[in-house]
Structure 1
Amino acid sequence: MRSRNPVFSRRGFSRDNGYAGFNAAPQAGGPAVATQGNPYAQGNPYAQPAGNPYAQNPYAQQDLQHGAPPQAPVTTGRMTIDDVVMRTATTLGVLILTAALSWALLPVDQANVGRSYGIGIGAALIGMVLALVQSFKRKASPALILTYAAFEGVFLGVVSSIVDTHVADGAAMQAVLGTMAVFAGVLVAYKAGWIRVNRRFYGFVMAAALGFILLMTVNLLFAVFGGGDGLGFRSGALGVVFGVVGIILGACFLALDFKQVEDGVAYGAPREEAWLAAFGLTLTLVWIYLEFLRLISILNSND
């Protein structure tokens, strides 16, 4: 799995733009053999025995030398769903803890809101840099991922407190519930097969996300240099529309995350890859939460 943040790509998509699990026939805990019906398996490091060090049985040769038949490959050190759940819970736990601390320790009254907001923006910038560093690393760094979660939590705590205090009372809890509902809904739809994550789905989501981010960047630049709401993509009726679009894109990224985890387990990815899955899920959930928070803010400011 080759992890990236939500605005770039995901591990599991090979360098030739094929997805690791598309049309493949993975064997849980063992090698996945490429077939003629899977043109993308060539780019999947887990799909072929020759290129998958985790599909080999390191004791098979030793067994043959002792006259015994080779045993099944050992599964120690391979990623499981439990590993992903535990790493994701740890990452989100750090984020929630620092968010709660920043909410409690950084006042957002009229006298201190500027200072607290500045600290939150600084934490967001540091978190963004850490996320980019991890995104382009080939291996997971648990310390880097948890540090990112800590700084991102500070930013979310400050922003949530400001919105909850000055814009809409209870907005943060509403955004949390909305994020949980989207996560649960996408998970159910994915497991039921209502969402089919294939190459076309990936291409559509990435193209839509790129267009969305470019529009938001242009809007931000107009707001910074021209003042006001920029082009109006983040306020009023247009703000509501783009807020909904942002949440839908986040839901699509969740489906890509679930496919990433499923393929990693099926192809015998190493256990440390669970940290990358947790990293991707955290990034996506933060995306959805912020879109909900912004949407609630817009709706309440229009009352």
Structure 2
Amino acid sequence: MSSRRQEIASLDAASFRAIAALAYRESGLTLIEEKTPMIQSRLRHRLRDLGLVDFPSYCALIESDQGLDERQHLISALTTNVSHFFREDHHFETLKSELDRCLPKLRAGGQMRIWSAGCSNGQEALSAAITLMEHLPGIADLDVRILATDIDPKVVRFAREGVYPQRLLGGVPAGLIDKYFQQVEAVTDEPHFCAHQRLRSMIRINELNLLAPWPMKKRFEVIFCRNVVIYFDIATQETLWPKFHAALAPEGVLFLGHSERISDPARFGFICTGPTTYRPDTR
């Protein structure tokens, strides 16, 4: 009964090194040998889907020209797409202050741009949109937009649909669920809720590999990049800090995750102004 699972050999050391090298090259993801059981568990379903029985065969595929699509599946399987609504709420309090700071410019016809980098299933971008709407009910009349990006095409599709099972709405007060989400028909017994169009119209969701060139030309007043760089080694992080600095407006703000830090902010032109909160140093 379990023979099909036993047909797939364990992840050997050489295959681990090949997968780790490709993941690092393609996405900056750093894999350590202690994570071998987790990597094996996450990738075995890919081998089954492809009809492969061992990891050397899988490595041969992903390293070939025919393996381009499978590389995306690999990165998707290895990336932890866990997010929550209103996680680290102190950042959303700062977001309100940023809206207040930008308000005179907005009322004069200016813009405010926000970026959720590594948006996962879209909860962060929607949390930002809800925060802004609650703080300024007339925000729909102003030019405020949120860009949400992620390397994983599967979570990008999920975020674009904007439909969440009830278990993923943790952190959203009941009153805000009633105000900003509508229950929809579901294929399971668990209730599902779709974000209202007035929220989704503020948000544009695209695929983006942070290690690839960034196509955005305009600067952002606010950048969320939380629980993303923790998966990168120091060398990769240090290639990103100058890019984030260049992408920020002079008075903008960069939010990192609770376990993330810019180790030497001044070296990259930042100052730390609060917990995991950084601004360009304009002194």
Same fold, judged at TM 0.5 (above): no
Q: Which has the larger radius of gyration?
A: 1
What TM-score range do you get, normalising by the shorter chain?
under 0.3
Q: Relative contact order: is structure 1 or structure 2 higher (C-alpha 8 Å, sep ≥ 6)?
A: 1
Q: TM-score by structure 2 length?
A: 0.23
Q: TM-score by structure 1 length?
A: 0.22
Going by fraction, where is strand more abundant, 1 or 2? 2
